[in-house]
Amino acid sequence: MERRILGGTGISVSELALGSMMFGSWGNPDRQEARKVIGMALDAGVNLVDTADIYGEGGTEEIVGEALRGRRDDVVLATKFHGPMGPDPNHRGNSRRWIMRAVENSLRRLGTEHIDLYQVHGVDPDTDIDEMLSALSDLVRAGKVRAIGTSNFPADQLVEARWTAERRGHVHLRSEQPAYSILSRSVEMHVLPTAQRHGMGVLVWGPLSAGWLSDADATPGKGRAVLEPRRFDPGVPANAAKARVVARLRELAAEAGMPLTHLALAFVQAHPAVTSVIIGPRTADQLSDLLAGAGKVLDDEVLDQIDEIVPPGSDLNPADNHSVRGLLADTARRRRPTPRRSARQEARH
């Protein structure tokens, strides 16, 4: 399997990385099978394993740690923090207080002395970037973390983080992990060019668009459909549009002589900013199918046809843009406070 250097770190990572979100209570609760899948991936040449503290409420990190016993030195281990790990509002986010506790929890669950890539799993509007980078830099200097990165960050936050690190003497962010697929291409506009311009590695997640670009997960009761059922509700107009597009992509994949899953992987690998593509199998059979797609290349004619089906820089469903979805969810972030009654309220009185 081809290797690439992650964001100027000198760390060599495989072109396909193993995502672990489907191991544990969020996907496949069979720990023995999960460990088997991880072993199969490593045997096939995958050396980057990605997880997060929030997956399975910490249980997924434990599964990954168990599977890597005896093989830890051969693996580039990445995990993430940010999401809520309990009802306490201080047990989430990007504050120094939480980072210092979260990293110790992850190290314990993973059964390791260091994390190769520690990633911020989302923007925290309540925490200064300087505060976040200061804490992460201390972890690098203490040897608990080798490199730091982000996930689901918009381009402006990546630029601000770089500006802050240069002026405050912090460790630079070395990677970004965005959602990217044929059906969700908005990161082509700003996130991918920004990462490329500043020498950041890019670890793509969701290349199969939560199962839409495969037959594996996009059914009720399976995989991402359990976590986000509305993303598969045929009554949602955006989902109906996706279904029509997927039908056309299946025809294109057949003409190109490959399964749709392989077309989807090859598409995201074609972008020059992408370092590694994270695959998230739930079973050994799914892993075998995805591994068979490693190294496949799409010619310009096929890529041009994809551009005609889904225009560059566009999302079929705006809700798939994870780098802004969280920021816009809270209405208080985008509306001025209104101490006086509105015109409509006045009219009612």
In whole angstroms, give the CA distance from residue 174 to residue 117: 9
The residues that are catalytic are 55
Q: Provide the CB-side half-sphere exposure for 202 (13 A, CA).
A: 29
CB 205 within 8 A of CB 151: yes
In whole angstroms, give the CA distance from residue 268 to residue 330: 31
Tracing tokens 């992990």 back to the chain, one arrives at: 177
State the DSSP string of 236-297.
SHHHHHHHHHHHHHHHHHHHHTS-HHHHHHHHHHTSTT--EEEE--SSHHHHHHHHTTTT--
Q: Which amino acid is at 143?
A: G
Sign of CA dihedral 141, 142, 148, 152: negative
> How far, rounded to the nearest angstrom, does the alpha carbon of residue 340 sit from its chain's CA centroid?
42
- DSSP 8-state class, residue 84: -
In whole angstroms, give the CA distance from residue 343 to residue 260: 53
> How far, rounded to the nearest angstrom, does the alpha carbon of residue 133 sit from its chain's CA centroid?
20
In whole angstroms, give the CA distance from residue 200 to residue 208: 23
User: How many CB atoms within 10 Å of residue 248?
Assistant: 14
Tracing tokens 């608990």 back to the chain, one arrives at: 144
Give the residue among 65, 50, 54 at the shortest CA–CA distance from 111: 65
Token couple for 216: 């594996």
